Amino acid sequence: MRKATKVVQIENLVKMANAIGTFYASFSDREAGIAGVATHISRSWDPRMRRELIAYVENGGSDLLPIVAAATRKLSPSPK
């Protein structure tokens, strides 16, 4: 029987995602910035962490920077 596959506490995921978002928010091209956040998270976060973040946004979590919320909506849930 598999236990819950949560890996990192959501508060820390939000903190990490916002730190990433703060960097990419300085891009003058906002679309490029959103894509930058999405790419960064999908290339460096374990899929379970990404799923947590997606679920957070879907459940109405509101502590994310706008750029991060927008990027999260672009993240595709991992097949796993």
The reply to whether 68 sits near another protein by the rule CB under 8 A is: no
The reply to whether 74 sits near another protein by the rule CB under 8 A is: no
Residues 37-66 that bind another protein (CB under 8 A): 40, 42-49
The least CB distance from residue 46 to another protein, in Å, is: 5
Torsion angle (degrees, nearest 10) of CA 41, 42, 48, 50: 50
Instruction: List the end-to-end C-alpha distance of the chain, in Å, as a whole number.
Output: 17
- Please give the Cα distance from 37 to 67 (Å, whole number): 8
Tell me which residues touch another protein (CB under 8 A): 1-9, 12, 16, 19-20, 22-23, 26-28, 40, 42-49, 78, 80
